[in-house]
Amino acid sequence: MRRRGAASIAANPVLIGAATTLVVIVAVFLAYNANNGLPFVPTYDLRTEGPNAANLVRGNEVRIGGSRVGVINEIVAQRRDDDTVGAVLSLKLETAVDPLPKDSTLLVRPRSALGLKYVELERGTSSEGFESGATIPVRNAQPEPVEIDELFAMFDEPTRAAQRTNLNEFGAGLAARGQSLNEALGVLPVLLRNLEPVAENLADPRTDLAGFVQGLGQAAAEVAPVAETQAALFRNLDITFRALADVAPQLQETISTGPDTLRAGIESFPVQRPFLRNSAALFRELRPGVRALRTAAPTLAGALEVGTPVLRRSVELNRRLPPLFRSLQDFAQDPLARLGVGGLRNLSRILNPTVADLAPMQTVCNYMTLWFRNIASHLSEGDSRGTWERFIIVGAPSGPNNEGGPADAPANGGGPAATRQGAVPLPAGGDPAGNFLHANPYPNTPGGGRTNECESGNEPWLPGRKVIGNVPGNQGTTTEETKIVRDSPGSLPSDQRPPEQGGPGADEYPESP
pLDDT range class, residue 177, cuts 50, 70, 90: confident
Whether 433 shows a pLDDT value over 80: the answer reads: no
Are residues 231 and 299 both part of a single domain?
yes
Tell me whether residue 242 is in a domain.
yes
Are residues 69 and 194 both part of a single domain?
no
**Residue where a domain stops, chosen among 152, 180, 212:** 152
Q: What is the pTM of this model?
A: 0.29
Tell me whether residue 403 is in a domain.
no
**Could you tell me which of 373, 292, 478, 493 has the C-alpha nearest to residue 502?**
493
Are residues 226 and 288 both part of a single domain?
yes
Confidence (pLDDT) at 11: 64
Are residues 197 and 228 both part of a single domain?
yes
Tell me whether residue 148 is in a domain.
yes
Are residues 133 and 201 both part of a single domain?
no
Tell me whether residue 62 is in a domain.
yes
Whether 511 shows a pLDDT value over 70: the answer reads: no
Whether 172 shows a pLDDT value over 80: the answer reads: yes
Are residues 7 and 131 both part of a single domain?
no
Are residues 135 and 229 both part of a single domain?
no
Confidence (pLDDT) at 3: 54
Are residues 220 and 324 both part of a single domain?
yes
Q: What are phi and psi of 335, to 5 degrees?
A: -60, -35
User: According to the per-residue pLDDT averaged within each range, which of 24-33, 300-309, 502-511 is highest?
Assistant: 300-309
Whether 507 shows a pLDDT value over 50: the answer reads: no
Least confident of 17-21, 282-286, 311-315, 339-343: 17-21
Are residues 59 and 119 both part of a single domain?
yes
| Cα angle 239-244-245, degrees, rounded to a multiple of 5 | 100
Burial 335-355 (b: 16+ CB within 10 A, else e): eeeeeeeeeeeeeeeeeeeee
Tell me whether residue 364 is in a domain.
no
**Residue where a domain stops, chosen among 152, 171, 204:** 152
* Contact of 33 with 120, CB cutoff 8 Å: no
* DSSP code per residue over 91-120: EEE-GGGPSEETT-EEEEEESSTTS-EEEE
Confidence (pLDDT) at 485: 45
Tell me whether residue 397 is in a domain.
no
Domain count within the chain: 3
* DSSP code per residue over 53-92: -TT--TT-EEEETTEEEEEEEEEEEEE-TTS-EEEEEEEE
Cis before 463? omega within 30: no
Are residues 24 and 56 both part of a single domain?
no
- The tens digit of pLDDT for each residue in 180-226 reads 888 888 888 888 888 888 988 988 888 898 899 999 989 888 888 88
Confidence (pLDDT) at 307: 87
Question: What percent of the chain stands above pLDDT 90?
Answer: 3
- The tens digit of pLDDT for each residue in 445-475 reads 887 778 888 888 888 888 888 888 888 888 8
Distances (CA, A) of 37 to 29, 43, 61, 91, 259: 12, 9, 11, 11, 76
Are residues 1 and 28 both part of a single domain?
yes
Tell me whether residue 348 is in a domain.
no
Are residues 128 and 94 both part of a single domain?
yes
**Residue where a domain stops, chosen among 299, 333, 367:** 333
> Regarding beta strands 438-439 and 467-468, do their DSSP bridges make them parallel or antiparallel, or are they unpaired?
parallel
pLDDT, mean over the chain: 79
Whether 139 shows a pLDDT value over 70: the answer reads: yes
Whether 376 shows a pLDDT value over 70: the answer reads: yes
Confidence (pLDDT) at 236: 92
Tell me whether residue 349 is in a domain.
no
* Owning domain of residue 108: 42-152
pLDDT range class, residue 91, cuts 50, 70, 90: confident
- The tens digit of pLDDT for each residue in 264-311 reads 888 888 888 999 999 999 999 988 888 888 888 888 888 888 888 888
Confidence (pLDDT) at 40: 58
**Could you tell me which of 64, 65, 74, 89 has the C-alpha nearest to residue 35?**
74
pLDDT range class, residue 492, cuts 50, 70, 90: very low
